[in-house]
Chain A
Amino acid sequence: MYLDVIITLLKIAIVFGFVLNVAAILSWAERKQSAVMQDRIGANRADVLGFRIFGLFHPIADTIKMLTKEDWVPPAGDAFVHTLAPFLALFTALVVFAVIPFGDTLHIAGRDIPLQIADLNVGILFIVAFGGLGFYSVVLAGWSSENKYSLLGSIRAAAQLISYELALGLSIVGIVMAYGSIELDDIARGQGQYVLGVIPYWGIVAQPLGFILFFTAAMAETKRVPFDLPESESEIIGYFTEYSGMKFGAFWMGEFIEVISVAGVVTALYFGGWQIPFLSNQGVFIPGLFTIPLPHLLVVLLQVSAFGLKVLFFCWFMLLVRWTLPRFRYDQLMAFGWKFMVPLALVNIAVTGLIKYVF
């Protein structure tokens, strides 16, 4: 009983430790990546005793700066809701990780430990539900600031989030049909099969169109370029204009955590989760040829690190997209969501159903 509680707490600590650290590093990586892509040197000024290590002290310097800044609440605004909004932003971004499986079942000392914080039998719907609640942080932030520009920014954000949530939900239906389960660990396990004996049956193989739709819609949900109309940090004003100090920091980190959670969900659904091609639970496995047995602990360790690496890859990929594409115009954004993504997602469901029916 107590051991179960300790194991669960340990899993939470590992997952959230990973997520929060990667989020901090992403704030550095984003600046460094943009610098490299724009032929600049980039963030490298923060130094401790003359050491700069590629500017890796910048996240720490940022944190100190934001924690010590004045915490300003607009006097005309609503202080309670104004404080609530950044907490909601962090909560809804973090809670998604509770259902993402980061490894197969670990057998150790006679116990079976599923490497997933909460194995809910509603799985993906949990992500949709709590991802959807992220909407409130945006809208409440804009409203409680008592600032017309903030309010307009939050309305833009709300319209965008609602529009793309539809495409997001519909694109997930395809993957649920392909693997016949709505639980994330079942989907990840299902991706360990092989097509024609050689191609790993990952989500991207089963649902290529679904992957593109999901990834695009999920990127729109993170509110980053090319979908950054809600904030538009470079010229028009967004919903967290009236925030300062660590409350602004919470929105800022919440955005990076959202990036990691999108990367985590995309990995779990479309890129095999923890699966490594040709590595089964028994060891290296080439279908029909040979098997090299490996110890169980090593296999699990390899799979968990594979999951971490895939997540990091998608985080990096989203930074790449963010510094490559220009922003959509607002009407283009809406038309793209409603007239392109939603019909395509519906077609995807129909085609998936047809293929499932024929085979």
Chain B
Amino acid sequence: MENLFFYIAAILAVASAGSVILQRKVMYSVLSLIVALLAVAWMYAMLSAPFLAVVQVILYAGAIMVLFLFVVMMLKYEKTEIQRFRPGLLWCMGLLVAVFFLMKLIYVINRASSLTPQVATLPPDFGSIKSLGGVLYTQYLLPVELTGILLLVAVVGVALLSGIKK
């Protein structure tokens, strides 16, 4: 049963990720990316990380993709746009990324095939908000606080850029 759900989620994630780059319309790429992110959230939920799954939905599917969607909505997509890029350069970059990705994929598959699957026993509160919060606010307190300051700087920057009246 769990295997079935995993394979549905995995196929959905891969198919929608493929659809992101294969779609001709930008809006469909954005929608495919949302589906891909939701499918990954589904897998997190199955890997006993419900908090990560929900945060994935809230932050990636719910907030970051909103930005993408806004940009796509505001810009009228024309066929001529794509011709403004230099096709040769695009091919070159594409090939580079593809080769790099293929090498990475081969490496990962090679490593994974040599491992034998083991059933890990998890502590009962694994992935719960309480245990995650406990770790974040004791062991990783400094990184959390630093990230908080970084985000605060971003917020202040936005407030400044959007033109508060002097």
Provide the residues of chain B in CB contact with A129, threshold 8 Å: 54, 57-58, 61-62
B57 touches A130 (CB 8 A): yes
Expressed in whole angstroms, the Cα–Cα distance for A182 and B54 within the complex equals: 13
Task: State in angstroms the CA–CA spacing of A86 and B61 once bound together.
Answer: 18
The CA-CA distance from A189 to B70 in the complex, in Å, is 41
Given the complex, which residues of B lie within 8 Å of A81, measured CB to CB? 27, 31
B27's partner among A133, A135, A143 (CB-CB below 8 A) is A143
Choice from A122, A130, A132, A135 contacting B50 with Cβ under 8 Å: A122
Mark each residue of chain A from 182 to 214: 1 if its CB lies under 8 Å from any CB of chain B, else 0. Answer: 100000000000000000000000000000000
Query: What A residues does B25 contact at CB under 8 A?
Result: 78
In the complex, which residues of chain B have a beta carbon less than 8 angstroms from the beta carbon of A139?
A: 66, 69-70, 73
Does the CB pair B129–A122 fall under 8 Å? yes
Q: Across the interface, do A125 and B54 meet the contact criterion of CB distance under 8 Å?
A: yes
The answer to the question of B6 belonging to the interface, with a C-beta cut-off of 8 Å to chain A, is no
Within 8 A of A (CB), among B92-142: 128-129
Interface size class of B (residues with CB under 8 A): 20 to 34
Cα–Cα distance between A125 and B57 once the two chains are bound (Å): 10
> A130 vs B54: C-alpha distance in the bound complex, in angstroms?
9
Q: How many A-B residue pairs have CB under 8 A?
A: 50
Residues in chain A near residue B70, CB distance under 8 A? 139, 158
Interface residue tally for chain A (C-beta within 8 Å):
23
When the two chains form their complex, are residues A120 and B62 in contact, meaning their CB atoms are under 8 A apart?
no
Is there a chain B Cβ closer than 8 Å to A128's Cβ? yes
Q: How far is the CA of A81 from the CA of B32 in the complex (A)?
A: 12
Which residues of A91-137 have CB atoms within 8 Å of chain B's CB atoms? Answer: 120-122, 125-126, 128-130, 132-133, 135-136
Instruction: Determine the chain B residues whose CB is within 8 A of the CB of A250 once the complex forms.
Output: none
How far does the Cβ of A226 sit from chain B's closest Cβ, in whole Å? Answer: 24
Closest-CB distance, B163 to chain A (whole angstroms): 14
Q: CA separation between A195 and B128, bound complex, in Å? A: 30
User: What mask results when residues 136 to 175 of chain A are scored 1 for a CB within 8 Å of chain B, else 0?
Assistant: 1001001100000001001100100010000000000000
> How far apart are the CA atoms of A298 and B34 in the complex, in Å?
46
CB distance from A87 to the nearest CB of B (A): 13
How far, in Å, is B137 (CB) from chain A's closest CB?
A: 13
Across the interface, A121 reaches (CB within 8 A) one of B57, B62, B128, namely B128
Contacts of B53 in A (CB 8 A): 122
Query: Which residues on A sit within 8 Å (CB–CB) of B62?
Result: 129, 132-133, 135
Residue picked from A129, A130, A142, A151, most chain B C-beta under 10 Å: A129
Contact A136 B34 (CB under 8 A): yes
User: Within 8 Å CB of B34, what residues of A?
Assistant: 136
Per the 8 Å Cβ criterion, residues 44-88 of B in contact with A are 50-51, 53-55, 57-58, 61-63, 66, 69-70, 73
Neighbouring B residues of A151 by C-beta, 8 Å: 73
Shortest B61–chain A CB gap in Å is: 7
Instruction: Kindly report which residue of chain A lies nearest to residue B127, judged by CB atoms.
Output: A121
Query: In the complex the two chains form, what is the Cα distance from A66 to B44 in whole Å?
Result: 40
A136 touches B69 (CB 8 A): yes
**B73 neighbours in A (Cβ, 8 Å):** 139, 142-143, 151, 154-155
Q: Which residues of B come within 8 Å of A, CB atoms? A: 25, 27, 31, 34, 50-51, 53-55, 57-58, 61-63, 66, 69-70, 73, 128-129
- 18 A-B pairs with CB atoms under 8 Å apart are A81-B27, A121-B50, A122-B51, A122-B54, A125-B54, A129-B61, A129-B62, A132-B63, A133-B61, A133-B62, A135-B62, A136-B34, A136-B69, A142-B73, A143-B73, A155-B73, A162-B66, A182-B129
Q: A135-B62, A155-B73 are in contact. List 12 more A-B contacts (CB 8 A).
A: A121-B129, A122-B50, A129-B57, A129-B62, A132-B57, A133-B62, A136-B34, A139-B66, A139-B69, A139-B70, A143-B27, A151-B73
